A and B are shown apart, each in its own frame.
Chain A
Amino acid sequence: MSILRPSNRLLARMDSEDLALLHPHLQCETLPLRRSLETRNKPIQYAYFLESGIASVVAAGAKDTCIEVGIIGFEGVTGLTLIMGGERAPHATYMQVAGKGLSIPAERLRHAMECSSSLRRLLLQFAHAFFLQTTYTALSNGRSKTDERLARWLLMAHDRVRSDDLPLTHEFLALMLGVHRPGVTGALKKLSSAGLIQNRRSSIHVLDRAGSKRPATAPMVQPKRN
């Protein structure tokens, strides 16, 4: 990475002293699809300041039922448990859209946070933003129709991918939304008939971002990033 212009938003917002605390320990990493960043109930080894791609935090219930509880892209960092003083990951975190990031060993991040109150504040602000995202995901999961939840999810992914083509399969979206695949196929068809997206093989093309906000925000206000 260039220390002058990091493409991760958190690193970009840090003052130079905080960045200097982290910089010697940051390692550039290519993060392929499905790469695991955290394993449930295992100590977190590294936090990742993502520069591109999307990491997904997935909670598992009984009988391998899974549902996504949050996503992280270039606006943030994984390892929120570390930031809040914990050690073991409560959920699995893995890459859902391939990308790149800067990793830092857990103990290095912990130490840097002990040294700098401004760094601590910045990272806790991000943890709070992630918590807000999760609360709106809960509201959306409990109260919205599949097509509305799908529209919201696609907007959140679009915010982080810097392209109108989202490389997502129906199977993957079904996991993200905690519904069966035919439910996603039907919801995609609905958004597609409304001219909001174009449903392609293994990808979804966002045609009308402003229009996509209508179904996504019908029951709720979208939390803003940063």
Chain B
Amino acid sequence: MIKTTSLRYSYNFEKEISFKDLLIEKGEQFLLLGESGSGKTTLLHLLGGLLKSQRGNIEVGGTDIANLSESNLDRFRGKHYGFIFQRNHLIQALTVEKNLLMAPFLAGLDQDSARIDDVLEQLGIGEKKHSRIQDLSLGQAQRVAIARAVLNKPAIIIADEPTSALDDKNCDKVSDLLISVAQQNNATLIIATHDQRLRSKISNLIQL
């Protein structure tokens, strides 16, 4: 599913980070571990097509995303990826439902209201469909962010510190949901984290 070869990245052409080659199969779940500044986020953004790679290849499902044009990469991201970040980054001006509808709208897919009900139900926040974002708790908001990431049934889910802002109880719940939702959608899951609480849940590790 994801294959990288001799991937390197440098900021300001001073310190170059080189990444070891990766091979991740479809449906596999990986934890990306490393100290702050070790290039976790850089690698994650490279894999997610949020950052253009400077050297090396990233093949995703047979497409070399390093060679896609900017607008093609935008489209590719929308169709094949789901992203979750440390903060939920939900759009405050929209309700839960409209936030979720943004995913198929921006990816150019059909907007299916039944699919939203399903996903919210799966994540246990079915009754929050019409809530405003500011009325949600932190854990609920992160679950909405997960719902948004999986709504388009992406092949790859990329999560950057998805649990580090949550307390133990919410961390447990949210990570369990994330893992099971990814499994149900047969999506490849890559979580970058320094949160030791997740180590017990995913055994595949990429150590930077």
A, B co-complexed:
no
